[in-house]
Amino acid sequence: MAVSSTATGLDVNPLMSAYKRRRDAARLGVGAKYESQGFISSGTYGKVYKVLLLAHSTAATRAGDLRGEPGQAYAVKKFKPEKEGGDGYTGLSQSACREIALNREIRHENVIALREVILDMKAVFMVFEYAEHDFLQVIHYHSTNHPRSVLPLGVLKSLLYQLLNGVAYLHSNFIMHRDLKPANILITDKGVVKIGDLGLARVFHRPLVPLLNGDKVVVTIWYRAPELLLGAKHYTTAIDMWAVGCIFAELLSLRPIFKGDEAKMDASKKLPFQKDQMLKIMEVLGVPSVDEWPLLALLPDYPQLGAIERERARQDPTKPRFENNFGTFMNRHMRSMDSGRAVLQALFTWDPDRRLSAADALYHPFFTADAPMPTKNAFAHATKAYPPRRITADEGGLFAEPAAPPPAPQTNTGAATSQRPAAPPAPLAGQPQAGSVLVGTSGVGGAGQGARMWSAQAQAQRGMARKRPRLG
């Protein structure tokens, strides 16, 4: 019996016990359908495992599920049960709800496909098609392989094109991803890009509340668009396009282009202005002007820009001004890519309303006219084979009952670091250390707490933590 009733006197209603018994009897748990291959990674919301489909479970279980092949590989994302004392039910986090709801509706070659959802042992398991690689891993491979090598242009262009294709699909379906970063963009062994992790994604055509109210902070800081940094309350799909620009740049230079230090939440729990991140952007792109971005002056944190400029003038009187150094970046990394420069520049447009859209980017001559053309197998032009994903021993984590909770990430033991040996030390060296804050949307927090501290752990390796509402 998978979802069992507890002894807390829940089942006072014998009607419902009969109903539940019937449902429980009909249900197959993860362990009955899949064989665990080991542990892949620990994310903000759960752990991801690699599994193989058992031969007797290839059929779809419910309407909308996907068929499978015997032995086919899948990635199972097990959501952490939101602990609330005792071992009762705590309700599904909104992040999990979102990810399930959206993934059940969408189907696109460049978005990771959800095969099925399984509820088992009071936990939620999402079964995704398995992707052998991801952008971060490819970047890491090139930056650490000696001699350091750049991505072949054909590979880079294909990865970017397919990413844009997936983003265009999401946007045309009114979905903002809101957390695009190299670690979330997967690639199959056939060289097909698959956008993953829709846990922060949101449908934007019928927001019942202004977008800001839902999730106080979206997008991992290095990929966060200037309008978000400056406190915009309403934002658009353009925030994803900024992130795509950052990813493009990272594929070129093999390191994050705007690698700011995250400002921590202070005691007042007010969202801090991410000064260092803004500074890092300004060091490359210069200072945004109202000419280029008419609504700039209306943004809540606009005055902060002046403060950053004054501080700069004080600290370095020889170079009192922020210059646009983007040309230097492009000269270094895009020597033979004239049309590519235009794309990257258009993605880094300050004004979100004028920033290049995914749909338009796909028709840019960079992709449609200039050789090499993007390929369906992004690795077609690859000079070497990228190594497969590192899988570590499962240690029973996937099939473990929540009664023996996974090591609670409440304290920073650093243990999780070893869980992701393939994590790239080089491009992330000197990146912000643990201590990133995850804060529940107050009033709805599943833990019933206003704020909750977590160690950064795996996030420190895979990118930075960010806030998501945790609620039950």
Ligand X SMILES: Nc1ncnc2c1ncn2[C@@H]1O[C@H](COP(=O)(O)OP(=O)(O)OP(=O)(O)O)[C@@H](O)[C@H]1O
Q: Which residues are catalytic?
A: 179
Q: Contacts with ligand X in 54-83 (CB under 6 A)?
A: 75, 77
Structure tokens belonging to residue 266? 């202070």
Q: What is the DSSP letter of 417?
A: G
Exposure on the CB side of residue 302, measured as CA atoms within 13 A = 13
**Contact between 403 and another protein (CB under 8 A)?**
no
CA distance 413 to 117: 31
**Contact between 40 and ligand X (CB under 6 A)?**
yes
The residue type found at 136 is L
Radius of gyration from C-alpha coordinates of the chain? 23
Site string for another protein, 86-125 (x = CB under 8 A): --xxxxx-x--xx-xxx-xxxx---------x-x--x---
Structure tokens belonging to residue 131? 């992707």
For another protein, which is the closer residue by CB, 214 or 272?
214
Q: How far is it between the farthest Cα atoms of the chain?
A: 80
**Contact between 62 and another protein (CB under 8 A)?**
yes
Interface region with another protein, contact rule CB under 8 A, candidates 6-14, 322-330, 405-413, 414-422: 6-14
Enclosing H/E stretch for 444: none
Structure tokens belonging to residue 403? 């009664």
CA distance 415 to 249: 31
Interface region with ligand X, contact rule CB under 6 A, candidates 4-12, 45-53, 85-93, 271-279: 45-53
| Cβ burial, residue 233 (10 Å; 0-12/13-18/19+) | exposed
Distance of CA 150 to the CA centre of its chain: 24
Number of residues that bind another protein (CB under 8 A): 64
Interface region with another protein, contact rule CB under 8 A, candidates 28-36, 59-67, 265-273, 326-334: 59-67
For another protein, which is the closer residue by CB, 113 or 308?
113
Distance of CA 174 to the CA centre of its chain: 18
Q: Contacts with ligand X in 120-149 (CB under 6 A)?
A: 128-131, 134
Cis link prior to 303 (omega < 30° from 0)? Answer: no
* Chain positions contacting ligand X, by CB under 6 A: 40-41, 43-46, 48, 75, 77, 112, 128-131, 134, 183-184, 186, 196-197, 199, 459, 462-463
Which residues make up the interface to another protein (CB under 8 A)?
3, 5-6, 8, 10, 12-13, 15-16, 18-20, 22-23, 26-27, 62-64, 88-92, 94, 97-98, 100-102, 104-107, 117, 119, 122, 172-175, 202-211, 214, 234-236, 441, 443-446, 448, 469, 471-472
